[in-house]
Each structure stands twice: as C-alpha cells, then as structure tokens.
Amino acid sequence: MKYKKHVFICANDKDAPKKCCGSERGMALVDAFKESLKEKGLLKEMRAQRTGCLDVCAFGPGLVVYPEGVFYGNVQLSDVEEIVQSHLVNDTVVERLKLDF
C-alpha cells in the first residue's frame, strides 16, 4: 500500500435543500489536513484529499480515513489536529466524531 493512511474529505457542492459539505467548510478542511500533514513531515506516508459526496450530508462536513474505513461527521477546523494526532499518528479513533452506521 502506498500510504499508511488516506483521508478523503467531502468537498462536494451541489444545489439542494439539504446541507452540503463543500459549503460547510469542505475545502477549508482539505487545506487544513494537508497543512497539518506537511508541518509534521507526514506527506510521504499519509495523504489528505478532497472527494465527491460520501453520502453523509446530514452529518457533514464528513470525511473517511482508510484503510480503516472510519467515517467522521460534523468535523470542524478545530478538530483537524485532534484527528491527525489521535487517529492518523496514534491509531486511536476520535470517538466523539465517529459516525456509526
């Protein structure tokens, strides 16, 4: 596997009556994750990137971390460092943000 962890952050923007991750900070979250990984020298082993709809609009902004397949919802910019440090670096899921299906 090329990356130890891969974070896909929904940045989808669409015209709809329901909440959309893109308009709810999607790209700001992408930028914040990329910057955090860069600052920590983790870009060679971890990647963060935008993606289309993850079908968790009601819980957005949403993201998923692979290879675990853990979904997070209602992620704020203030949560980025906690997710990076806890989940990406230390392999501990941030339970308060985890979406259970």
pTM for this entry: 0.92
Domain 5-89 matching CATH 3.40.50.300: the answer reads: no
* 62-94 pLDDT, tens digit each: 999 999 999 999 999 999 999 999 999 999 999
53 in Cβ contact with 11 (< 8 Å): no
What percentage of the chain has pLDDT greater than the value 70? 95
Query: What are the extents of the domains in the chain?
Result: 5-89
**19/15 Cα distance (integer angstroms):** 10
Looking from the CA of 46 toward its CB, the CA atoms found within 13 Å total 24
